Amino acid sequence: MKFFIDTANLDQIREAQALGVLDGVTTNPSLMAKEGISGRNSILKHYVDICTIVEGDVSAEVIATEFDAMVKEGEELAELHDQIVVKVPMIKEGVKALKYFSDKGIRTNCTLVFSPGQALLAAKAGATYVSPFIGRLDDISTDGLNLIAEIRHIYDNYAFETQILAASVRHTMHVIDCAKLGADVMTGPLSAIEGLLKHPLTDSGLAKFLADYQKGN
Ligand code: E4P
C-alpha cells in the first residue's frame, strides 16, 4: 500500500518524507489556499517545490471545468515535473479529459469520486488513480469504507489497472481499514500515518528494557 500525504504544507511534507515511508503527495485548491498559496505562478512554483522534497507522485488539480481548458491546464501542469499527476474532477468534461490524458501518456488522478459508478467510468477512461473520498461520505452518515470495497470488487472483476487512492482519510483506523480492503494507496494527514506507530505495550516494554539496561551498567 502506498502512503500519500494530503497537504500543501511544506514542513509537514518534509516531516513525512523524513519518516521514510512516504510515496507521494496529494493537494487540492482548498489545501493550497490554506497555505496562503494563490496566483497561478505561485501555485505552479509550489508544485515544483513539493516535487523537490518527495520522490513520488504529486497530484496537481486543474481548475478548469471545460474539456479544452482542462487539457491546456493539465498539459501545463504535467510539463512542470515528471512527478506531477494531473488531478481531474469526476464530471463529464473530466471523463473526456481523463481519456485524452491517458491516450497521451499523462498520468491522472480522478478526484471527487463518491460512487462505484463514477469509479467505473474513471477506470474506463484510463485514470491512473481514482480518489474515493471516504471521510466526506462518513460525514454524511454513508459508509465510506464500503465504497472502497465496492470499487475493489469491480476493478478486480475486470483487472482494471486504475489504482484505488483512498482519499479524505481522516484518522489511523481509516488507514488500517483501507489496507484490509485492498486500497492501493491512501492519502491523509501526517497524524493518520504517525498513529500507526502507537501502542502502549511498545512504550511500556521499551521503558522496561531501558530501565533493566541501566540496572546492569
Ligand atoms: C484528496 O485528494 C483530497 O485532497 C482530500 O483527501 C480531501 O480530504 P478532505 O475531505 O479531508 O478535505
Give tens-digit pLDDT for 102-127.
999 999 999 999 999 999 999 999 99
pLDDT at position 70 is 98
Number of H helices, E strands in the chain: 11, 8
Residue for grid cell 464530471? 91
Give tens-digit pLDDT for 67-79.
999 999 999 999 9
DSSP assigned state of 20: T
Round to whole Å and give the CA distance between 6 and 3. 10
Give tens-digit pLDDT for 3-56.
999 999 999 999 999 999 999 999 999 999 999 999 999 999 999 999 999 999
Residue for grid cell 520522490? 55
CATH number at residue 13: 3.20.20.70
Round to whole Å and give the CA distance between 59 and 198. 29
User: Does the CB atom of residue 26 touch ligand 1 within 6 A?
Assistant: yes
User: Does the CB atom of residue 136 touch ligand 1 within 6 A?
Assistant: yes
Ligand 1 midpoint to CA 208 (Å) = 40
Residue 119 domain boundaries: 2-215
pTM score, whole prediction: 0.96
Structural domain total, the chain: 1
**Closest Cα to atom 7 of ligand 1:** 168
Round to whole Å and give the CA distance between 95 and 127. 9
Give tens-digit pLDDT for 82-91.
999 999 999 9
**Closest Cα to atom 1 of ligand 1:** 167
Round to whole Å and give the CA distance between 150 and 144. 10
Question: Rg of the chain's alpha carbons, rounded to an integer?
Answer: 19
Q: Nearest 5°: phi and psi at 182?
A: 90, 25
pLDDT at position 14 is 97
